[in-house]
Structure 1
Amino acid sequence: MQINFRRLGAKSLFLATALVVTMSAQADATITAIFGSGVGDNGWTAQTDAGVTLALRARERFPMPTNNVPSNGAGTYTFGDTTAYSLYGYNNLASWNFDFSINSGTASVNGYTYMLGIDTDSSLGMNFTSFDPLAVFNDNSFGNAGTTQGNGTDATAATKAGLAAANSLAQNSENFGWLNAAFDPTVDGTYSIYLAAFDQAGRQVTRSDITVVVGDGGATVPEPASLALIGVAALGMAAAGRRRSTKV
């Protein structure tokens, strides 16, 4: 597991750069959602290179699960609800989840390594925490090109290695509040998320980026101290019961 923190310049500068990076991405793409129950296929921001497709989106999760994906068609998702929601002992859940999809285009997702970067800074500054989502999350859903909506196989800590080796598709849905005990969903902010794939030589094959704007985007919010993700190694505690209840 690799976790790293890096301080970048003003978020506005990054967003301009990200726009250039993702100009060839397919915004509002349709990707079959194999996780959860009744999760829609709409509104993904996808990037395909060398046969590998990576996709991200942000989707309304609270006050009740919906398939509302408020995308501007260019990789930005906007949510006006800054309420803190509670579920299964978590009291700092955002109204939105972010979903990710990895399609390696090969017999196994293990043909590549992956890095998921999550911006923990709500202000115009930016602080990424990056990690391999296949290594960290124990409850990913796995499938292949023939897997239909909602019919992925949900992994556990004991089965995830075998499922990753046998399948070309991996997906999941997460909330910032599950990943970071210090996350405050009531603060207006702008968050960036990226997903990248690397070949065995460590060269980046493809990458998808999205931006999530909450409230007024946090333009007037002073930059807070860096926030560290807490308990990343314990994310496997996300049991299948939580996944089916929260990812619909």
Structure 2
Amino acid sequence: MSAPFHGKVALVTGAGSGIGRTSARAFAARGATVVVADLDAGNAAQTVKLIERGGGRASAVTVDVTDSASVQSMVDTAVSRHGGLHIAHNNAGVFTGLGPLADLDEGQWHAQLAVNLTGVMLAMKYEIRHMRDNGGGVIVNAASNIGDHVRYPGTGAYAASKAAVSTLTRAAALDHIKDGIRINAVSPGASNTSMTFMPGESEAERAARLNGTIPLGRLAETDEIVASVLWLASEESSFVVGHDLVTDGGASA
């Protein structure tokens, strides 16, 4: 496998599972030293083990993306351990508080905004501060096709948080491209992760519920989503700035 990220340090939030774990492993397989950041220290450590078993280099850091001091410490730790920070995939997110807006628990509203939106803002704030003073870098944020691209009943809080990530990504991209920092987003559709299951739902039941909403006829595998992340993080997308790349099998077409 080629090593387009050789010599680079890549930070992935929410890297203890799902798309984040696949992203961390993919960056490592392509030559990057990866900082595996997650709220769950055990899951982060497991991702590091998987990377190391594959011959890659990684270290774990525990982070609460809703807390400014914790996020600043995450970036500082990445830089002090590995000598820099060149790539960031701000992937941490939650999908909760489903139901009609009038019945939405306000705590769930605030929790989704805190993780999905404020978490991305704080991560970018400290990543950009380092990158701006050290020759630039690349940031890829996790938005969603639910939000700016398509809406479904009962997903108002999640949709609002992810639509805001898409807008924030574009705004930040304009603010900092002259600092040598390219900022883009990926908007995944329904993927084969634990986040797409309803409580108690089987894989067959999930497929029956979701596959008909996707023109391609199936959920994405996590490596299909990560392929978009890798492209946006690579020199192959060097002229792409402030873009939100929808990767959803045609669901929002």
TM over 0.5: no
Structure with the higher fraction of residues in strand conformation = 1
